[in-house]
Every structure is written in structure tokens, then in C-alpha cells.
């Protein structure tokens, strides 16, 4: 007798090829309209399904998990981070949590490098001048930015994405520095020509560009606090393609407005989709709508990882991308 298909609820629209494969393999209920589920809808979902497939826009907190039915055994997150999920509460309820690590690395690193180039070279400002019909021709002293060749890049969080950014930045002639919970093996440091700073404060005070690549956890909330932002030199730039909550966004906006930082490139925000109005008004900032991993290839790869995790769990094995509280 064939094994019954697990009931799966997908909270958002996914690429067609991914949704089609899920329908073939599972008893999958797909999202008809591409919007975040409300808390009430999430509660109804966890009461009825065996597998929930949420995204970063779905808050699966203790209030939701506590109302899950006994049949819910897997939360297969469609995304790299799991800060939207209370992993500890899920574990206490016997629910496995998985994510999709690795598949976003190169695309997010590409976008980070794009911002590292765009902010010092004032690319968004230049585009605005053209679109608004205000360009009067080339001038030797107009729209001057800064070169990145020879500048120091300070990477906060030297995991897969941080290292991928380091490889790209080296090719642009940047000097690589990093702060991480654990120092990288010597062979990796040597390959990246990277300098480790045990003290984040000391690193921040010496860099030309700061790029954030750590996850959002209770320990990293406002890691770049108002105090730490004040340590950064006024000539330096801040780039964030990780999570908005890692930066005290109000403090960053105030400093940019006051000219206490040269500029910022932001793909993520503390209260998405809301963006601080001071950031929107600032010419010192390049703003993107959380599109660091937005390529067809990565979104399909993410779906394939979700499917692998569900299939592996269904077959009675440990999913390859299981997340535990100790990993956060």
C-alpha cells in the first residue's frame, strides 16, 4: 500500500516549478495570493497540517506554536534565517525546524558587492540626475565619490556569505578584516588574506566600509547600537544585507542626516516593510527592497532544499538542514 502523502501548507507563492513539484510529492495547500498570513491564519494552519512551509514574513512564535495540533512535526522554513521562528519552543513541542542554508550565498554576496560599489560611487544619485533631466554634461569636479581600491572592508559575521563577500572584495583591491564569534581556521584566513579582530569596537573604528552578515538573534539585536555607530569614522560607509534588526536604525538615520557617516547601502530594515522616512529622504543612502537573494536560480534552489528536507523527514531520517537552538 503506498505511503500517504504528508499534508503541507505553504504560506506564500513560490516559483511555479517548486509549487508543482510539491503538489506531486505532498498533499500541498498552496497560497493563492502572495501576502503574509495573519497570526490567526497561521494558527489555523498549524492546527491542521503536518508540515508548515513559512517564509521570513511569517512570525511563527510561541503563541502560534503553542496552538499547533499534535500532527505538526516539521516547520520547513523557506529561507536561510530562522529568526522568524521560535526554534526553542518548537523543539520543546517535538517539532523539527529546517532552513535552506547555502543556496543564497552567491546571490547575496553579489548584491552586497553591488552596494559596496554603489554607495561610495554615488550611483543612485547619478541615476536620479539623469531621470530628472538635470544633467548638464560632464564636469571635473561634479558628483565626486570615493574609490574602493585600497580601502579596508570590515565584515561582521564571517560565515558562508561573509566569506563570499570577502572573495569578491579582494578582487576589487580591498583589504579584508572581520569580526566573528569564532576565529576562522588559519588556512581560511590565509586564503582570504583576512585579519581577525576579537574586538568589534576596535575594528569598527578603523574601517572604511562595514558590511553586516551575521544572523538576527537576541545576541545580535542592535549589535550596531548608537554607541557602536559612533565609533565608525565619519568617512566610512555601512552596508547591510543581513537583517535590519542588527542595526539601531533610528540612530543610523540620525547620524546620516547629521553627516556623521558618509553613507549606507541597505537591503533590509528593522521594521520591514516600513522604512524610516529619514533614510528614504537621504541622498547618502542606497535603499533596496530586501532583494539580496532575489534571483530565479536561488528561489528555485530554496524550494528544492525545502522539498529535500520534507522528503527526508517523511522517510524517517533527520533532515539535512535541521536547526537547533544551539546553532543560533
**What pLDDT digit, counting tens, does each position of 12-42 carry?**
999 999 999 999 999 999 999 889 999 999 9
Domain 7-103+295-327 matching CATH 3.40.50.720: the answer reads: yes
Q: Minimal CA–CA distance to 328: which of 234, 216, 160, 169?
A: 216
Residues comprising the chain, all counted:
328
Q: Where in the chain is the domain with CATH 3.40.50.720?
A: 7-103+295-327, 105-287
Cβ atoms of 225 and 255 closer than 8 Å: no
Q: Sign of the C-alpha dihedral, residues 53, 69, 272, 180?
A: negative
C-alpha to C-alpha distance for 198 and 196, rounded to whole angstroms = 6
For 94: left if phi > 0, alpha if psi spans -120 to 50, otherwise beta; the answer is left
Q: Which of 168, 228, 243, 284 is catalytic?
A: 243
Q: Minimal CA–CA distance to 213: which of 241, 244, 177, 255?
A: 241
- What per-residue confidence (pLDDT) applies to 81? 86
DSSP state of 78: S
Q: Which residue has the cell 520547513?
A: 76
Dihedral Cα 150, 201, 111, 280, nearest 10 deg: -110
| Angle subtended at Cα 291 by Cα 88 and Cα 214, rounded to the nearest 5 degrees | 40
Cβ atoms of 6 and 314 closer than 8 Å: yes
Please enumerate in sequence order all residues whose Cβ is within 8 A of that of 167, keeping only pairs 6 or more positions apart, or say none. Answer: 109, 192
SS3 call for 249? helix
C-alpha to C-alpha distance for 74 and 97, rounded to whole angstroms = 6
Element (H, E) at 184: none
Q: How far is CA 18 from the centre of its chain?
A: 21
Q: Which three cell numbers stand for residue 237?
A: 560607509
Low-confidence ranges of the chain (pLDDT < 70): 1-3, 327-328
174-217: pLDDT as tens digits = 999 999 999 999 999 999 999 999 999 999 999 999 999 999 99
Domain 105-287 matching CATH 1.20.1250.20: the answer reads: no
Concatenated DSSP letters for 155-168?
EE--SHHHHHHHHH
- What per-residue confidence (pLDDT) applies to 236? 98
The verdict on whether 243 is a catalytic residue reads: yes
Directed axis angle between helix 105-118 and helix 123-131, to 10°? 70
118-131: pLDDT as tens digits = 999 999 999 999 99
Q: Which three cell numbers stand for residue 100?
A: 535552506
Q: Which of 29, 170, 222, 290 is catalytic?
A: 290
Q: Which residues pair with residue 271 across a beta bridge?
A: 274
> What pTM, to 2 d.p., does this model score?
0.91
Across all residues in the chain, what is the average pLDDT?
96
Q: Minimal CA–CA distance to 53: which of 39, 42, 38?
A: 42
Q: Helix and strand tally (H, E) in the chain?
A: 13, 12
Q: What ranges in 150-285 are assigned the alpha helix state H?
A: 160-171, 186-192, 200-204, 226-231, 249-257, 277-281
Cβ atoms of 53 and 76 closer than 8 Å: yes
Amino acid at each position: 500500500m503506498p505511503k500517504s502523502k504528508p499534508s503541507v501548507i505553504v504560506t506564500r507563492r513560490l516559483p511555479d516549478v517548486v509549487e508543482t513539484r510539491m503538489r506531486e510529492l505532498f498533499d500541498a495547500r498552496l497560497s493563492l495570493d502572495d501576502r503574509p498570513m495573519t497570526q490567526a491564519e497561521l494558527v489555523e494552519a498549524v492546527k491542521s497540517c503536518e508540515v508548515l512551509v513559512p517564509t521570513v514574513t511569517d512570525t511563527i512564535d510561541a503563541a502560534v506554536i503553542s496552538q499547533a495540533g499534535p500532527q505538526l512535526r516539521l516547520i520547513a522554513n523557506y529561507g536561510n534565517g530562522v529568526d522568524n521562528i521560535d526554534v526553542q519552543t518548537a523543539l520543546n513541542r517535538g517539532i523539527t525546524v529546517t532552513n535552506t542554508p547555502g543556496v543564497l550565498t552567491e546571490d547575496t554576496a553579489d548584491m552586497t558587492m553591488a552596494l559596496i560599489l554603489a554607495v561610495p560611487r554615488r550611483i543612485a544619485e547619478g541615476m536620479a540626475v539623469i531621470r530628472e533631466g538635470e544633467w548638464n554634461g560632464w564636469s571635473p569636479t561634479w558628483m565626486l565619490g570615493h574609490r574602493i581600491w585600497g580601502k579596508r572592508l570590515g565584515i561582521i559575521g564571517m560565515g558562508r556569505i561573509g566569506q563570499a563577500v570577502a572573495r569578491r572584495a579582494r578582487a576589487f583591491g580591498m583589504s579584508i578584516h572581520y569580526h566573528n564569534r569564532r576565529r576562522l581556521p588559519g588556512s581560511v584566513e590565509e586564503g582570504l588574506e583576512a585579519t581577525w579582530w576579537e574586538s568589534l569596537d576596535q575594528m569598527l573604528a578603523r574601517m572604511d566600509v562595514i558590511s553586516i552578515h551575521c544572523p538576527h538573534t537576541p545576541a545580535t539585536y542592535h549589535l550596531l547600537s548608537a554607541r557602536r555607530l559612533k565609533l565608525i569614522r565619519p568617512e566610512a560607509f555601512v552596508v547591510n544585507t543581513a537583517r535590519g534588526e542588527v542595526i539601531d536604525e533610528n540612530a543610523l538615520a540620525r547620524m546620516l542626516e547629521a553627516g556623521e557617516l558618509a553613507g549606507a547601502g541597505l537591503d533590509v530594515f528593522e521594521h520591514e516593510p516600513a522604512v524610516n522616512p529619514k533614510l528614504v529622504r537621504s541622498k547618502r543612502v542606497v535603499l533596496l527592497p530586501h532583494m539580496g537573494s532575489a534571483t530565479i536560480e536561488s528561489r528555485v534552489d530554496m524550494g528544492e532544499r525545502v522539498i529535500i528536507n520534507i522528503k527526508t523527514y517523511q522517510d524517517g531520517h533527520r533532515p539535512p538542514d535541521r536547526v537547533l537552538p544551539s546553532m543560533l
